[in-house]
Amino acid sequence: MDYSAELAVTVRQKIGETIPVDGTAADTMFTDAEIQAWIEQGATVNHAVVEGWEAKLAHFSNLVDVTDGAASRKLGDLAEQAEARLKYYRGRIAAGPDEGLARSRTRIGKIVRNG
């Protein structure tokens, strides 16, 4: 897919890594070069988004739950949430092109028996 700034913004929004106001890509988890590579390698925006969520999952899977005195942080939940988003976007890719309601409708075929 051809890279454009608009696609980069879309991918960043879908992976939760938007550049803050008056900020730069350094304020996010991914560089502009990484986002551009995912877009150029992907067949659709959702393919680029899957690459982003896979990278986030890899990063989050290194984090563990922390308990420090009375305070605790459940950092392991981040990996579970990233895995859920990854599953969602892989499902969007498997569903095929997004053409209105066609993606969510059930198809009923006709069974024909010979003999």
DSSP string, the chain: ----HHHHHHHHHHTT-PPPTT--GGGSSS-HHHHHHHHHH-SSHHHHHHHHHHHHHHHHTT---EEETTEEE-THHHHHHHHHHHHHHHHHHHT-S--TTTTTSPP--------
Is 81 inside any structural domain? Answer: yes
Is 110 inside any structural domain? Answer: no
Is 74 inside any structural domain? Answer: yes
Is 102 inside any structural domain? Answer: no
> Predicted confidence band at 71 (pLDDT cuts at 50, 70, 90)?
confident
pLDDT at 110: 80
Q: Which residues contact 78 (CB under 8 A, 6 or more apart)?
A: 60, 63
Is 63 inside any structural domain? Answer: yes
Confidence check: pLDDT of 64 > 60: yes
Q: What is the mean pLDDT of residues 40-62?
A: 92
pLDDT at 100: 47
> Predicted confidence band at 62 (pLDDT cuts at 50, 70, 90)?
confident
pLDDT at 105: 61
Q: What is the mean pLDDT of residues 23-35?
A: 95
pTM of the model: 0.73
Is 24 inside any structural domain? Answer: yes
Domain tally, the chain: 1
Is 51 inside any structural domain? Answer: yes
Q: What is the mean pLDDT of residues 45-74?
A: 85
pLDDT at 103: 52
Is 42 inside any structural domain? Answer: yes
Domain membership of residue 67 as a residue range: 5-94
